[in-house]
Amino acid sequence: MTYPNWLSQRSYLSGDRMALSFQQQQWTFSEINTIALDYAGKLSALGVKENSRIAVLAKSTPEFVFVLYGCMHLGCEMVMLNERLSSNELTYQINDAEVTFIFVADVLKEKMNDSRVVLFSEVENAKSIQFEPQQQWAKDRTLSIMYTSGTTGHPKGVRQTAENHFSSAVSSALNIGIAPEDVWLCAVPLFHISGFSILMRSLIYGMGVRLYEKFDADQSAEEICNGSVTHMSVVGVTLERILTSVEQASMQASDRFKAVLAGGGPIPIAYMKRAKNCGIPVLQTYGMTETSSQTTTLQVADAERKIGSAGKPLFLYEVKTEKPGEVGEILIRGPQVTPGYIGKFAERDVQQDGWLHTGDMGYLDAEGFLFVVDRRSDLIVSGGENVYPAEIEKVLSGHPAIQEVGVCGAPSEQWGEVPVAFVVLQQETTVEELLAYCREQLASYKVPKQLTIVESLPRNASNKLLRRELRAWV
């Protein structure tokens, strides 16, 4: 089973439409396809072939897009490297993936010392040679490989096939809708599924992408309010900064603006209320690298009555929990689910019994709305009771003196395990005051047995809390 080459097909069908804009520059689909073909010829000259596995390390710039699209014409497997990783972490990934080339943006050349490195400037200066652009793409072709954030252990290299990306884009369109004038603001990294999926939607829908190298709250707010973009992808922190900017300028979102897609974790209810006042519809989503991101989505209409929910699955997908009606591991099935990992985790069967076992715990309420509770690996069993660190963190982060908080389990002779908390303060307070606050709101077995004030919490390159490092602190 095949698809027509998305780049050629899009250029053929709507070549005159805007494909990409960056700062003052703009490219149509036919222009971008011409550049991509030229890049494919240059990459061929350097020795890249069909099925080559290559890696790319870059910031979100047009050159990054040209290299990716060139590779897609050639039929490569593209390992997307996170530029925020340390050199050691990058080395782990390129060795695990056994790539033949590493294409690196010139500004990042210090990060990577490896004989396989080819700088973007060397690609640009190469002389394009004749090659045979692929007419058809096999659906099970691996388009991209992305490493998970490494929150629970070693990052895992996830294969994302053409079918995974296609079904993800189509399911999202069935949910949000598409129109010819749509432009998606991309200020999330292109190496992450949140950004890469915007490029795939662009090719599949014929939609324009407004690309930013870095997130800028004021510029995002400006574009949302002046109607130059219709969609944007955000996480909680970036949404909050956009809202502040819109509020300070006393602006309102343009009527043309349709929605922000918010992922990575639950969005606090306070942000949802502020977004409503700014005229910004927020769609909360749940997903992971293994599902090409967005798998469930909470509609704007349900946001207030289903606070804390990640919504319902998109049309093509199914979600269930291990134990119907109670908290259990979240299982996912659908054409967006990866066929598997590469490298160290290649042998792991990701679809036992046809379902992806996510490692996340959650439940479906009586109406079928999904609530994500916490990571399975972080569950604390204390005196036979299940304690989810996220619940305790949520309570503590509601205290005005607390800036951020992390909770994990500590061994206990009496209870097996007990919860302990680490907090970063933004105002002065005492440990006793914080524990009293917990006792007001939590059952006694959930109240941290120890609470330590620290300077900062351990986080990974995606800014996610590393509870396994907290456990090492204990």
Judged by the rule CB under 6 A, the positions of this chain that interact with ligand ATP are 148-153, 155-156, 263-266, 286, 288-289, 310, 358, 360, 372, 375, 462, 464
Nearer to ligand ATP (CB atom), residue 310 or residue 405: 310
**Residue 85, token pair as written in the block:** 């990783």
How crowded is residue 341: how many other Cβ atoms within 10 Å of its Cβ?
21
Residue 266 contact partner, candidates ligand ATP, Mg ion, none, CB within 5 to 8 A by sort of partner: ligand ATP
Contact 202, 209 (CB under 8 A): yes
Contact 371, 363 (CB under 8 A): yes
Nearer to Mg ion (CB atom), residue 134 or residue 358: 358
Residue 297 contact partner, candidates Mg ion, ligand ATP, none, CB within 5 to 8 A by sort of partner: none
Nearest to 367, CA basis, from 301, 316, 294, 281: 301
Q: SS3 of 319, please? A: strand
Measured between alpha carbons, how far is 141 from 138 in angstroms, rounded to an integer?
Answer: 5
Nearer to ligand ATP (CB atom), residue 265 or residue 268: 265
CB 269 → Mg ion: shortest distance, Å?
A: 25
Residue 411 contact partner, candidates ligand ATP, Mg ion, none, CB within 5 to 8 A by sort of partner: none
The residue number with the shortest CB distance to Mg ion is 148
Residue 360 contact partner, candidates ligand ATP, Mg ion, none, CB within 5 to 8 A by sort of partner: ligand ATP
CB 112 → ligand ATP: shortest distance, Å?
A: 21
Residue 372 contact partner, candidates ligand ATP, Mg ion, none, CB within 5 to 8 A by sort of partner: ligand ATP
Q: Is 292 in the site for Mg ion (CB under 5 A)?
A: no
Q: What does each C-alpha distance from 136 to 37, 82, 201, 301, 339 come to in angstroms? A: 15, 29, 18, 41, 20
From 9, 82, 148, 238, residue interacting with Mg ion (rule: CB under 5 A): 148
Q: Which stretch binds Mg ion (CB under 5 A): 9-17, 88-96, 142-150, 334-342?
A: 142-150
Q: Which stretch binds Mg ion (CB under 5 A): 54-62, 140-148, 338-346, 366-374?
A: 140-148
Kindly state the helix (H) or strand (E) to which residue 320 belongs, with its residue range: strand 318-321
CB 303 → ligand ATP: shortest distance, Å?
A: 13
Got the DSSP string for 390-458? Answer: HHHHHHHHTSTTEEEEEEEEEEETTTEEEEEEEEEESS---HHHHHHHHHHHS-GGGS-SEEEE-S---
CB 264 → ligand ATP: shortest distance, Å?
A: 5
Nearer to ligand ATP (CB atom), residue 75 or residue 155: 155
Contact 294, 168 (CB under 8 A): yes
Nearer to ligand ATP (CB atom), residue 41 or residue 264: 264
Nearer to Mg ion (CB atom), residue 153 or residue 383: 153
Residue 313 contact partner, candidates ligand ATP, Mg ion, none, CB within 5 to 8 A by sort of partner: none
Residue 185 sits at the vertex; the CA angle it makes with 460 and 160, to the nearest 5 degrees, is 55
Measured between alpha carbons, how far is 270 from 244 in angstroms, rounded to an integer?
Answer: 12
CB 267 → ligand ATP: shortest distance, Å?
A: 8
Window 240-259: contact mask with Mg ion (x via CB under 5 A): --------------------
CB 377 → ligand ATP: shortest distance, Å?
A: 8
Residue 263 contact partner, candidates ligand ATP, Mg ion, none, CB within 5 to 8 A by sort of partner: ligand ATP
Using CA atoms of 97, 100, 103, 104 in order, give the dihedral in degrees to the nearest 10.
70
Residue 150 contact partner, candidates ligand ATP, Mg ion, none, CB within 5 to 8 A by sort of partner: ligand ATP
Contact 253, 280 (CB under 8 A): yes
Nearer to Mg ion (CB atom), residue 148 or residue 160: 148
Residue 236 contact partner, candidates Mg ion, ligand ATP, none, CB within 5 to 8 A by sort of partner: none
Beta-bridged to residue 450, according to DSSP, are: 420
Residue 91 contact partner, candidates ligand ATP, Mg ion, none, CB within 5 to 8 A by sort of partner: none
Nearest to 38, CA basis, from 171, 145, 157, 129: 129
CB 89 → ligand ATP: shortest distance, Å?
A: 12
CB 13 → ligand ATP: shortest distance, Å?
A: 33
CB 89 → Mg ion: shortest distance, Å?
A: 16
Measured between alpha carbons, how far is 256 from 214 in angstroms, rounded to an integer?
Answer: 24
Query: Which residues 6+ apart lie within 8 Å of 133 measured at CB?
Result: 5, 8, 37, 40, 73
Residue 320 contact partner, candidates ligand ATP, Mg ion, none, CB within 5 to 8 A by sort of partner: none
Q: For residue 327, which amino acid is it?
A: V
Query: Which residues 6+ apart lie within 8 Å of 276 measured at CB?
Result: none
CB 235 → ligand ATP: shortest distance, Å?
A: 9
How crowded is residue 450: how many other Cβ atoms within 10 Å of its Cβ?
13
Measured between alpha carbons, how far is 423 from 401 in angstroms, rounded to an integer?
Answer: 10
Q: Which stretch binds Mg ion (CB under 5 A): 37-45, 130-138, 148-156, 163-171?
A: 148-156
State the residues that interact with Mg ion by CB under 5 A: 148
